[in-house]
Structure 1
Amino acid sequence: MRATPALLAIALLLTPAAPAAATGAETMVYLQSVTTGLNAAVAGTSVVQHRPKGDEDHQQWTLSGRTLKEGGLCLGRSGDQAVMLACDSPDAQWDVLPDADRHRLRVPGVDRYLVSAGDQVKVGAGDTLWYLTPVHPTRTPVPQDGTRRLDQVTFLTAHNAYANGVDGGFAPPFVNLAPNQQRGIAQQLADGVRGFQLDIHQTPDGAILCHNSCTWVGRPVALWVDVQKVVDFLRANPGEFVTIFLEDYVSAQVLNNELSRVNGLADVLFRPDQAGVRTTGWPTLNTLRATGKRLLIFTDHTRANDTPQRDSFGVMYQSEWTVENHWSMGSGLGTSDWSCYSRWSTPLTRTEPGFTPLFVMNHFRDVPFTGTATTDNGKLADRARRFCEPAARKTPNYLAVDHYHLGNPMAAVQTLSRERF
């Protein structure tokens, strides 16, 4: 039964106050499921959930009081279905109920809500929470260099940094023709690269840097060799911070043995688990410099059935400390997919009380053609601002690219380092 105007007025008086955006001022927002990380998008007269894709996929809604408008119609309901209706329809009205930085969209006068169900948007019982993320957010200027927390910094990151054709072999000869980078690790450090994505495979010689397999690789490089270069760089540059990301195909014991060969590693290795990051947040750069702990190492292994546990010797499980978008924008040629969605099962918006994961933004193709990488790297800041920041509700901390020396991706690092989402 439809509520009378008097009952609706009473219900609104009893409803917790909504934010300014929901009380009259028009604001463009993304309607993003807290559970799935997907955005509500218009498909004909239906409303579905799609991967966050900025302004390219009917995902930007105009929130005005109790309506959400897109393309001339408003988000409404027909039975259990979310549909697009005329904005003056009673079924296009919602109680927008805030819950901290999240919201519930309730059918006025009824205990029914807008809910996410797989890739569908429906109406029913449930407790689905939504982010109303501004399309044009107010960004906050970052503090001065030393007082910035680690999660307030953006680092240029080299995808497959070892696959450079300079330091040694990384793949069979015919694959070596398409390296991801064209400068060695030492030069990458000198050029300002501060994140290194490395693939390691297990051989009788230990943890070796190879792409897919070490079979037929000439002059392969051991992991400890490149880690030693990083440690030596940090010793010579006490103000710098470096992160290593391992795509990890070795046993925990082999990895431990490999890292034990690195002279001085313990002096610079940062242990967020021991620093209390989950309860007190990420430290400032000045704190890290004062302690000398300026190297963070992640593995993409999971903790389950890992013996010994890799974080027992200082290698952090990345999925516990970061969020990361899907690694590919498509093939090396042709159109690209700029949608920004999680590589893992948890959404990019994942947070915990007192703790914000670092955000790794991948920005590269399946095949690292130099021409494509040059064009893509020139669009890095644009993709970060329009697609990935609203998808994650945070500014990326690591921008991972192929051929970092092309297309000036450092300009994007500087842009994102001035103001944060």
Structure 2
Amino acid sequence: MPGLLCFVALCACQAVVAAATPERDTVLLGRRYDEVSIVMTHNAMSNRAEGWLFPNQNHGLTRQLNDGVRGLMLDVHLVGNRPFLVHGKAFLGKRPLVDGLKEIRTFLEKTPRAVITIIFESYVDGKLVRHAFQEAKLLGSLHHQRRDAPWPTLKKMVDSGRRLVVMTDRDGGSWPGYHDVWKHCWETHFSVKRTRDFSFRRNRGQASNRLLILNHFLTRPTASPALAALANSQTVLGPRVEGCQTATGRRPHFVVVDFYDIGATQTVIDKFNRKPPSQ
């Protein structure tokens, strides 16, 4: 009987892990990090569900990650000498950075094969950001990437326990795992009002950098579900993702969108990832 109970308990544990491991996290494990495209949410912290004003997303961080988002763009500002997630002004919405990081840690613990990327737009000293990661018990989860080294496969990252890639536009490289985004990435322009104005023109970062941030959202003058419905439609997003490799020589590694749950964003990315990597 004890043996049977152990067997049942083991099966139950395996079922829980399986339930917490989306298929897309499993089928891509054999690819290098730079051979995968992911949905990245623009101003991920700014969401309607938690009462932010003029939000860029409908749902909070956990729901985004549960829905398949694997990249988060987060803005960090000082509020009362502490780092907070803020978009522009604190009265529009704010949250302590450490609380957002703890939420991400909980998701990583429940989803053992997920690899998550954070890109910070930071207005905060890197030491304060590190302290927040330390307080959230995430320092041990950070992947460390040398600029001249090949990216590991997702499986190697999972096996190492370092499944969180963090990049920033301020103080990058000031501590291990806190990468300078413009030493690893380049981006397309982000100030776009109409779908016909989407292009692959480079904005920041050197074209020789290996990772491409494909900014794909409309702002007129703020984000809105109606604008996201246009940008995230199959007929607009699909050709842009498919044509990126030809136009730039790079696959779109981070496809940055507003209101990811409107339109065909995840469907487009899943379809694109089913193709063999060509770089």
Q: TM-score, normalised by structure 1?
A: 0.56
CA contact (8 A) 1:256 1:313 kept: no
Q: Distance in 2 between matches of 1:145 and 1:313?
A: 26
Q: Distance in 1 between matches of 2:250 and 2:45?
A: 29
What amino acid does structure 2 have at the position aligned with 1:245?
I
CA contact (8 A) 1:167 1:221 kept: no
* TM-fit CA distance, 1:168: 5.3
Q: Distance in 1 between matches of 2:224 and 2:106?
A: 31
Q: Distance in 2 between matches of 1:156 and 1:341?
A: 20
1:377 aligns with 2:240: no
Partner residue, 1:283: 152
Q: Which has the larger radius of gyration?
A: 1
1:267 aligns with 2:130: no
Q: How does 1:116-155 map to 2 (within 5 A)?
A: 145-155=28-38
What amino acid does structure 1 have at the position aligned with 2:71?
G
Higher helix share: 2
**5+ unaligned residues in a row in structure 2: which ranges?**
1-26
**5+ unaligned residues in a row in structure 1: which ranges?**
1-143, 170-175, 304-308, 352-356
The residue matched to 2:202 in structure 1 has which SS? coil
1:398 counterpart (250, 254, 263): 254
Partner residue, 1:257: 131
Q: Distance in 2 between matches of 1:390 and 1:415?
A: 17
User: In angstroms, what is the RMSD of aligned CA positions?
Assistant: 1.9
Q: Distance in 2 between matches of 1:199 and 1:335?
A: 25
Q: Distance in 2 between matches of 1:287 and 1:278?
A: 18
Partner residue, 2:184: 321
What do residues 361-412 of structure 1 show as CA deviations (whole Å, max 9, x unaligned)?
11001221211211210121211223x3233202111111000000020011
Partner residue, 1:294: 163
Q: How many residues align?
A: 247
Q: How does 1:286-365 map to 2 (within 5 A)?
A: 286-301=155-170, 309-310=173-174, 312-330=175-193, 334=194, 336-344=196-204, 346-347=206-207, 350-351=208-209, 357-365=210-218
Q: Distance in 1 between matches of 2:259 and 2:96?
A: 22
Partner residue, 1:70: none
What do residues 260-297 of structure 1 show as CA deviations (whole Å, max 9, x unaligned)?
2112x123111113xxx623x11111111111110011
Q: Distance in 1 between matches of 2:141 and 2:45?
A: 21
Partner residue, 1:181: 57
Q: TM-score, normalised by structure 2?
A: 0.82
1:158 aligns with 2:52: no
Q: Distance in 1 between matches of 2:95 and 2:81?
A: 10
What amino acid does structure 1 have at the position aligned with 2:199?
S
What amino acid does structure 1 have at the position aligned with 2:65?
L
1:412 counterpart (256, 261, 268): 268
What do residues 296-316 of structure 1 show as CA deviations (whole Å, max 9, x unaligned)?
11101265xxxxx53x14211
What do residues 2-31 of structure 1 show as CA deviations (whole Å, max 9, x unaligned)?
xxxxxxxxxxxxxxxxxxxxxxxxxxxxxx
* TM-fit CA distance, 1:222: 1.0
The residue matched to 2:256 in structure 1 has which SS? strand
Q: Distance in 2 between matches of 1:345 and 1:400?
A: 16
1:209 aligns with 2:85: yes
- Structure with higher RCO (Cα < 8 A, 6+ apart): 2
